[in-house]
Chains A and B, each alone.
Chain A
Amino acid sequence: MAQCVQSVQEFVQDSFVPMVAVLCSEEAERVTRKNKLGFAELLRPFCRLTSEGHIRDPNNQMQVVKNLRICVNNVVTSPTPASAASSPALRRLLNDVVLSCQPQEGAATNVITAGDYDLSFSATTPWFEAYRENFLQSMPASDHEFLNHYLACLLVVSSTEAVPVEQFLKLSQEQHRVQHSGEYTNPKWFIPNTLKYYVLLHDMSEGDEQRADSVYEDMKQRYGHQGCYLLKLNSRTSSAEEDEQIPDPWSQYLHRNTLQNQVGRPCVSLLHLLPCLLADGASTSLDSHPLQLDPASSSGSLHALTAANAELKKGSREPEGPAGGHGACLTLNDHDHIRQFIQEFTFRGLLPHVEKNIRQLNDQLVSRKGLSRSLFTATKKWFGGGKVPEKSISEPKSTCGLLYPPEAPELQIRKMADLCFLVQHYELAYSCYHTAKKDFLSDQAMLYAAGALEMAAVSAFLQPGAPRPYPAHYMDTAIQTYRDVCKNMVLAERCALLSAEILKSQGKYSEAATLLIKMTSEDSDLRSALLLEQAAHCFINMRNPMVRKFAFHMILAGHRFSKAGQRRHALRCYCQAMQVYKERGWSLAEDHINFTIGRQSFTLSQPENAVTAFRHILTNDSRQTATQQGAFLREYLYVYKVTASTLCHLPELPLPCIHSSATRVYFGHERRLAEGEKQAATHVSLDQEYDQDTAAMWGHLEEQLVAAANRGTVPANFQPTQCCLNSQTDNLRHPLAVAEEPIIVEVTFRNPLKVPLALSNLSLLWRFSADGASPSQDRTTDWSAAEVITNEETVSVGARLRLLPHATGQLHIVGVVRALTHSVDVLLSPGQQMLDLMVVRGRQDLKIRGPRLNQTKEDKMLIRHGLDLRLDPIITPPMPLMEVFFLQFPTALLCGEIRKAYVEFCNVSGVALCGLRVASTHPDFFTFGSQTTTPVTPLSPTSAENCSAYKTLATAREPGSVASEMLVSAEDFSQPSGVMDIPMDGSTLQPGQSTQLPLWLRGPDQEGVHEINFLFYYESTEKGIRISHRVLRHTVFICASRSLSVQASACRSSVPPHHSVEDRGGAGTLVFVDVENINTSEAGVREFHIIQVSSSSQHWRLHRCINPAKDKDCKLTSRERAKLCFRATRCKPHQEKYTFADLNLGNERIISSSTPCGDFFFRGCRPSESQRADEAPSRTSCSRQSQCVPAEDRAADISSIVRKCNELDLNIIVIWKVRIQSSVSRSVRETEAQEMVLLKFKSELPPPAVPPSAELSQLIKTNLHYPETYTHPFVQDSLCVVPVSLTLSNCSSAQVDVLIDLRHRSTSGESLEVHSSFTWVGQTQYKLQLQPQQVLGLTLRACFLQPGVYNLNTPRVFAKPAEQDAMCETSQQTASPALIIISSSSA
């Protein structure tokens, strides 16, 4: 229970005060009317006595009466006030009292900290006190108690009457008639002989004062000194200027008066009618469980309420009561007169009267005590609860037991108790009430008993010094009786109010709360609301504050308030309860409260608060059902619309949520993907997901390009171009946008609700400051993304908005403006849905926070976010813009297949561009051809359609023809690694111009899907602009399928060099090429024709085809393999030039050194060469690399020389052709595809026996020439000498010292046995020096002793490179045995 202004004692005392009636003559009434007051009203401010009075109790002891208040009322004889307490009029009165009493704005609030709750609420509840006061005052007089029965009557007559005394007589008779005639039940009188007090009212301004005095004298004689009074008033003329400020003590009573007057008034003003209507309307719409959200209650109720509210506002201004000017004719002296009069009346008239009556009653009771009491009880016993005869007949039975006639003896004691109570003799009062209670209870007169119990408890509480504890159970019984037995809620309520206040004063908050809660019922919403609120205050005031109970009862109170039409109070209650529920996870309850707050705020025309409350429900992750959310949303949109219409700027619309950090910004036009047959470069689009690796890859490519454009150095301020910005890109710098090129912003919306939302008319909100100008106001784009985004469930949806800058400057994209619709009926027919849709327009800011910083210690300890400037682009002057299209670009290739395609570059901007370059992740995938060799090919793709991709020469094929050779310098094809300049006429592309270039593609060597990225680079022809260059990305996916597998091997030919004249150096080598068709399951591919094999090398060349099979046309069907045999010879070394040798197997020779072949050859070998730039130009195979000595000193390095000698450095190019039938389109489209295989291979010679000399053993190639059979007549000559020539060929390119030893090795016993039969004769040891590639013949002689078969291969040849010490001479490998047959001729 809230704190009260009055103390409890005061409050209880003031609840029961002596009542004084007033009867006024018309003339007297006229006099007081001058002050715009009735006589009773005139007295009211002075009714509290400041001085002490005294009274003697029956025992003649003096009792002090302090701070007494009397209540003066006109006699009203209206017939129906009996049930006034429950009458609608009274209800209205109380309603208005509460309504008019609202907490002040800046009223002191109480802050309570309970647990982890901090609550602030108003500690006082003046509306409750006002209600209570009015309620108690309007208590109807009841038969079972006398407290508010009239004790006395003031008869007021004006001195201006013709005969005042007669008037007094008349009024006296009138009073008598009212009290005793039995006509009127209403003004109830305490005692049969009511005290009549005669008052002569004298108007100083008009009447004759002397006459008044004389009349007064007359009165004194007639009514006694203590029974009359002369009251002089109106000392001041009303017309007189109001110089002095006279306080207006009536004003505080006035409001209540006017309200009270209306109780009896038949016609009800508009003002009071409306709230009732409103209340009724509200209660019907809210007539449900207080804790029920009413999802179905349509927003129609809100509409109705607003309408009613508007009316109410109009109405409230109309009635203007007679404000101000009360007591205008009264001076301060007059005030004193009135005060004196009251005092005189009370002390001289009223108190003695009361004292006399108490005495009388006491006497009666005492006299009766001995006799009647015992008699009563005796009779009761005898008659068994039957009634005593004296009151048996006239007793009407009522629900609450019997009713006593007014003069029944049982009531006398109650009467005495009441009198004692009124004059503050609580001790006596208590004992009387106690006695009365017993009597009533024994009589089963429940109503009376309850009354007595109530007052007994009150007087026990009020007794000074508290001799006995407050009997709370009396009160409980009384309340229960009133409510349940007597069905009298008014009395029960009074009782509860008193009891609660008393309990509160004793700190028994919990009991008080229970009491108050029990008193809530369905019959009066206002009462229930107020009591619940007080109960809530009780909970919070407990020693251990019960915060949640407080909140819960506040909600219940709020609900009842709203049912009672007290919207402001309801709102306040809900707001206070909200403090407890807010942000504590009780979302369902929180939503309910927010919803109610929203509604109430709205009807109270606080739409901002309403919007805030509704927003809370909708934006927080709601756990409500979809229908509930739909209802919330509908209300929110309605409220929002109303709010928005009153504001000049667009308000914030939080739904659906914008996922700010997911915003993506794209600079540039949206790409056309294809234009006819042309296929545009993919570039970047918003549809692609951002990928860190890909971005890094593009960045790397761009860096290469920039480096190439800047002669190998990357500028320090280089930053990779970012076309599409998102949360992962580097957004620390202002992005650069180009004028006349659109900026596309993708905003991601997330619908937190379970109901669909439809957005339409989206547009961007931006601010622009042109260069040098001040920033402009927020503007929206006139362009607006048109249609509806239905946002089902919690799905995120992105919307793309476009902005086209025309001027240069700094742009800030601030937010998004859009129209939101709650589209339940999207699926209905369009016409129908338009009616239901409520469209609101609002803005929402895009606030992008950068990533969280985590570098420094401060960053780690705090939460700091970096900059994110992705929405603040700088607009730069127009830049060139290039588009790239591809024609006849394949998607699938065989491994190694060569295809020709065309690429078109198109300048679509107004600025010329130059410096076109391209970089790729797969530089060996494509070539533009080299300038020196390309011009032959036709530039237009259409004319070249049926042309082969190769440059060919028709040659008549003759078997065994020697390869045709061509020398090509590598520089012709050389390109800086990865980056290619695009050969373009004039090197600039003028605005609008486009150019087409051929492009050769070669299928990747690995089968599978390959992602190939191109990055095109170009610059503006103008220099010194902010954007130095622009890039265009293209990504293709090529599906490579298996074609041919080619393997090559080589071995040293054992044919002596002189067999072929051209061969020098004897380094003839056989090359075997194994070709296998490994193409799998492709129905379209039938057979591969190998049409040409070419070689490319700096030192070697293919010489001729020595295929043993004469079948020249080499066809390979599925899974077939073929072996091709070639002889390779060493060619003249040309510095840095490559020898291409073509051996065609068909009728056409393809010049392998020209564009596609040559390009791909160099492109293919380039990367590996560039990796080891310092090595010898001849390439070593990896298997030998470990033996490679670092080659600074190449000439002197033995191993290098030796290696060279052993190396076969030859690239073999196999050109094949296949007919592909496209199986897709059934029509047998015979695509002629010519392909090439690059073969880089290194001959692997058999390893020698002795590992350390492995290399050196092959420096020299030896051949023995001798006759195969030699016939010698051994009979004639036993010694046979056969000449044998030994040919030594130096395979290396260095001088070699050779030592030939013909002597038999003595160590080998085995060979001794074999060779013992023949011996070398002549010089048996030679020491020679062979020049590089020199061939030297030596003639030896072998001497045989008998015929037989001999192995001549016994000479041991040691070789060592010149300039080496002799120690490393190594035995050269001996070839296969050279057998000679020596036969004996008989002749």
Chain B
Amino acid sequence: MAVCIAVIAKENYPLYIRSVPTQNELKFHYTVHTSLDVVEEKISAVGKSLGDQRELYLGLLYPTEDYKVYGYVTNSKVKFVIVVDSSNTSLRDNEIRSMFRKLHNSFTDVMCNPFHNPGDTIQSKAFDGIVSGMMVQTASYT
């Protein structure tokens, strides 16, 4: 499903980046990093108009030639970015949403771990598993 899944801290440094191993990892790093601009733009735009209740899911951040980049921001300003192959047309917006929700739940679990130091990179195996699940599905889909 996804080719790259990233969790970015409030301060915009990566907490977790995982990409499909066959592809150039660096490229995804750049893509995710650049997408933060759009995320910030979207947050600031929404913040003005709506006030407190904000939709966490930001939708498609921007399409590139090969990928679609989706964003999601938690209330604590932690960003989730999912990069999807643009050739994969079977993905609906709803599925992306549910992926983010799953990711968010797993992330919450990681944060609830009393041994996790907030701000550290995520080393959790459970989280890894969830992410792998989302990435593995790609293979079966395509």
In the bound complex, how far is the Cα of B14 from the Cα of A588, in angstroms?
Answer: 11
In the bound complex, how far is the Cα of B30 from the Cα of A548, in angstroms?
Answer: 9
Beta-carbon contact of A589 and B30 below 8 Å: yes
Q: How far is the CB of A583 from chain B (nearest CB, A)?
A: 9
Is residue A1299 contacting chain B, with contact meaning CB distance below 8 A? Answer: no
In the bound complex, how far is the Cα of B29 from the Cα of A552, in angstroms?
Answer: 11
In the bound complex, how far is the Cα of B41 from the Cα of A1370, in angstroms?
Answer: 106
Beta-carbon contact of A548 and B33 below 8 Å: yes
With contact pairs A289-B24, A544-B44, A585-B13 given, residues A549 and B37 touching in the complex (Cβ less than 8 Å): yes
Q: How far is the CB of A110 from chain B (nearest CB, A)?
A: 19
| Mask: chain B, 74-113; 1 = CB below 8 Å from A; 0 = not | 0000000000000000000000000000000000000000
Is residue B11 contacting chain A, with contact meaning CB distance below 8 A? Answer: yes
**Chain B: which residue is nearest A589 at the CB level?**
B29
Please indicate the chain A residues that have their CB under 8 angstroms from the CB of B26 in the complex: 291-293, 588-589, 592
In the bound complex, how far is the Cα of B12 from the Cα of A548, in angstroms?
Answer: 11
Is residue A546 contacting chain B, with contact meaning CB distance below 8 A? Answer: yes
Please indicate the chain A residues that have their CB under 8 angstroms from the CB of B40 in the complex: 115, 544
Please indicate the chain A residues that have their CB under 8 angstroms from the CB of B24 in the complex: 289, 291-292
Q: How far is the CB of B14 from chain A (nearest CB, A)?
A: 5
In the bound complex, how far is the Cα of B40 from the Cα of A539, in angstroms?
Answer: 14
Beta-carbon contact of B14 and A586 below 8 Å: yes
Please indicate the chain A residues that have their CB under 8 angstroms from the CB of B37 in the complex: 539, 546-549
Beta-carbon contact of A552 and B27 below 8 Å: no
CB neighbors of B among A531-554 (8 A) = 539, 544, 546-549, 551-552
**Chain B: which residue is nearest A510 at the CB level?**
B41
In the bound complex, how far is the Cα of B32 from the Cα of A915, in angstroms?
Answer: 75
**Chain B: which residue is nearest A590 at the CB level?**
B29
In the bound complex, how far is the Cα of B44 from the Cα of A570, in angstroms?
Answer: 33
Please indicate the chain A residues that have their CB under 8 angstroms from the CB of B27 in the complex: 289, 291-292
In the bound complex, how far is the Cα of B121 from the Cα of A857, in angstroms?
Answer: 34
Please indicate the chain B residues that have their CB under 8 angstroms from the CB of A539 in the complex: 37
**Chain A: which residue is nearest B36 at the CB level?**
A548
| Mask: chain B, 17-35; 1 = CB below 8 Å from A; 0 = not | 0000000111101100110
Is residue A584 contacting chain B, with contact meaning CB distance below 8 A? Answer: yes
Is residue A116 contacting chain B, with contact meaning CB distance below 8 A? Answer: yes
Beta-carbon contact of B25 and A546 below 8 Å: no
Beta-carbon contact of B11 and A116 below 8 Å: yes
Please indicate the chain B residues that have their CB under 8 angstroms from the CB of A548 in the complex: 33-34, 36-37
Is residue A555 contacting chain B, with contact meaning CB distance below 8 A? Answer: yes
Beta-carbon contact of B14 and A585 below 8 Å: yes
Q: How far is the CB of A113 from chain B (nearest CB, A)?
A: 15
In the bound complex, how far is the Cα of B44 from the Cα of A115, in angstroms?
Answer: 12
**Chain A: which residue is nearest B39 at the CB level?**
A548
In the bound complex, how far is the Cα of B44 from the Cα of A544, in angstroms?
Answer: 9
In the bound complex, how far is the Cα of B29 from the Cα of A589, in angstroms?
Answer: 7
CB neighbors of B among A504-550 (8 A) = 539, 544, 546-549
Please indicate the chain B residues that have their CB under 8 angstroms from the CB of A291 in the complex: 24, 26-27, 30
Beta-carbon contact of B41 and A586 below 8 Å: no
Beta-carbon contact of B34 and A549 below 8 Å: yes
| Mask: chain A, 547-567; 1 = CB below 8 Å from B; 0 = not | 111011001000000000000
In the bound complex, how far is the Cα of B36 from the Cα of A563, in angstroms?
Answer: 28
In the bound complex, how far is the Cα of B29 from the Cα of A1364, in angstroms?
Answer: 101
In the bound complex, how far is the Cα of B30 from the Cα of A592, in angstroms?
Answer: 10
Beta-carbon contact of A586 and B33 below 8 Å: yes
Q: How far is the CB of A1182 from chain B (nearest CB, A)?
A: 51
Beta-carbon contact of B13 and A586 below 8 Å: yes
Q: How far is the CB of A520 from chain B (nearest CB, A)?
A: 12
Please indicate the chain B residues that have their CB under 8 angstroms from the CB of A585 in the complex: 9, 13-14
| Mask: chain A, 113-136; 1 = CB below 8 Å from B; 0 = not | 001100000000000000000000
In the bound complex, how far is the Cα of B40 from the Cα of A548, in angstroms?
Answer: 11
In the bound complex, how far is the Cα of B34 from the Cα of A539, in angstroms?
Answer: 11
Which residue, of A116, A546, A555, has the highest number of chain B Cβ atoms within 10 A? A546
Say what secondary structure dominates the interface of chain B: helix
Please indicate the chain A residues that have their CB under 8 angstroms from the CB of B44 in the complex: 544
With contact pairs A116-B11, A544-B41 given, residues A588 and B34 touching in the complex (Cβ less than 8 Å): no
Beta-carbon contact of B41 and A552 below 8 Å: no
Please indicate the chain B residues that have their CB under 8 angstroms from the CB of A592 in the complex: 26
Please indicate the chain B residues that have their CB under 8 angstroms from the CB of A116 in the complex: 11
Please indicate the chain B residues that have their CB under 8 angstroms from the CB of A292 in the complex: 24, 26-27
Residue from A547, A555, A584 within 8 A of B30 (CB atoms): A555
Please indicate the chain B residues that have their CB under 8 angstroms from the CB of A581 in the complex: 33
**Chain A: which residue is nearest B45 at the CB level?**
A544
Q: How far is the CB of A574 from chain B (nearest CB, A)?
A: 13
Please indicate the chain A residues that have their CB under 8 angstroms from the CB of B11 in the complex: 116
Beta-carbon contact of A546 and B29 below 8 Å: no
Which residue, of A293, A548, A555, A589, has the highest number of chain B Cβ atoms within 10 A? A548
In the bound complex, how far is the Cα of B36 from the Cα of A581, in angstroms?
Answer: 13
Q: How far is the CB of A606 from chain B (nearest CB, A)?
A: 24
Q: How far is the CB of A531 from chain B (nearest CB, A)?
A: 17
Please indicate the chain A residues that have their CB under 8 angstroms from the CB of B30 in the complex: 291, 552, 555, 589
Q: How far is the CB of B21 from chain A (nearest CB, A)?
A: 11
In the bound complex, how far is the Cα of B41 from the Cα of A544, in angstroms?
Answer: 7
| Mask: chain A, 42-62; 1 = CB below 8 Å from B; 0 = not | 000000000000000000000
| Mask: chain A, 612-629; 1 = CB below 8 Å from B; 0 = not | 000000000000000000
CB neighbors of B among A325-355 (8 A) = none
Please indicate the chain B residues that have their CB under 8 angstroms from the CB of A289 in the complex: 24, 27
**Chain B: which residue is nearest A545 at the CB level?**
B37
In the bound complex, how far is the Cα of B28 from the Cα of A588, in angstroms?
Answer: 10
CB neighbors of B among A352-376 (8 A) = none
In the bound complex, how far is the Cα of B137 from the Cα of A357, in angstroms?
Answer: 71
| Mask: chain A, 278-290; 1 = CB below 8 Å from B; 0 = not | 0000000000010
Q: How far is the CB of B11 from chain A (nearest CB, A)?
A: 7
In the bound complex, how far is the Cα of B33 from the Cα of A551, in angstroms?
Answer: 10
With contact pairs A289-B27, A589-B33, A592-B26 given, residues A546 and B14 touching in the complex (Cβ less than 8 Å): no
With contact pairs A291-B27, A589-B29 given, residues A552 and B34 touching in the complex (Cβ less than 8 Å): yes
Beta-carbon contact of A584 and B34 below 8 Å: no
In the bound complex, how far is the Cα of B138 from the Cα of A761, in angstroms?
Answer: 53
Please indicate the chain B residues that have their CB under 8 angstroms from the CB of A588 in the complex: 25-26, 29
With contact pairs A292-B26, A544-B41 given, residues A552 and B33 touching in the complex (Cβ less than 8 Å): yes
CB neighbors of A among B1-19 (8 A) = 9, 11-14
Residue from B9, B13, B41 within 8 A of A546 (CB atoms): B41
In the bound complex, how far is the Cα of B37 from the Cα of A1028, in angstroms?
Answer: 71
**Chain A: which residue is nearest B13 at the CB level?**
A585
Q: How far is the CB of A286 from chain B (nearest CB, A)?
A: 15
In the bound complex, how far is the Cα of B27 from the Cα of A1382, in angstroms?
Answer: 124
Please indicate the chain A residues that have their CB under 8 angstroms from the CB of B38 in the complex: 546
In the bound complex, how far is the Cα of B12 from the Cα of A552, in angstroms?
Answer: 15
**Chain A: which residue is nearest B15 at the CB level?**
A585
Q: How far is the CB of B50 from chain A (nearest CB, A)?
A: 18
Q: How far is the CB of B99 from chain A (nearest CB, A)?
A: 23
Please indicate the chain A residues that have their CB under 8 angstroms from the CB of B36 in the complex: 548
CB neighbors of A among B21-73 (8 A) = 24-27, 29-30, 33-34, 36-38, 40-41, 44
In the bound complex, how far is the Cα of B41 from the Cα of A1050, in angstroms?
Answer: 98
In the bound complex, how far is the Cα of B78 from the Cα of A737, in angstroms?
Answer: 58
CB neighbors of B among A574-624 (8 A) = 581, 584-586, 588-589, 592
In the bound complex, how far is the Cα of B27 from the Cα of A552, in angstroms?
Answer: 11
**Chain A: which residue is nearest B17 at the CB level?**
A588
Please indicate the chain B residues that have their CB under 8 angstroms from the CB of A552 in the complex: 30, 33-34
Residue numbers of A with Cβ under 8 A of B are: 115-116, 289, 291-293, 539, 544, 546-549, 551-552, 555, 581, 584-586, 588-589, 592
Given A291-B26, A291-B27, A293-B26, 20 more contacts at CB 8 Å? A115-B40, A291-B30, A292-B24, A292-B27, A539-B37, A544-B40, A544-B44, A546-B37, A548-B37, A551-B33, A551-B34, A552-B34, A555-B30, A581-B33, A584-B13, A585-B13, A585-B14, A589-B26, A589-B30, A592-B26
6 pairs, A vs B, C-beta closer than 8 Å: A292-B26, A549-B34, A585-B9, A586-B14, A588-B26, A589-B29
When A and B form their complex, which 3 residue pairs have the shortest distance between CB atoms, in order from nearest? A585-B13, A546-B37, A552-B34
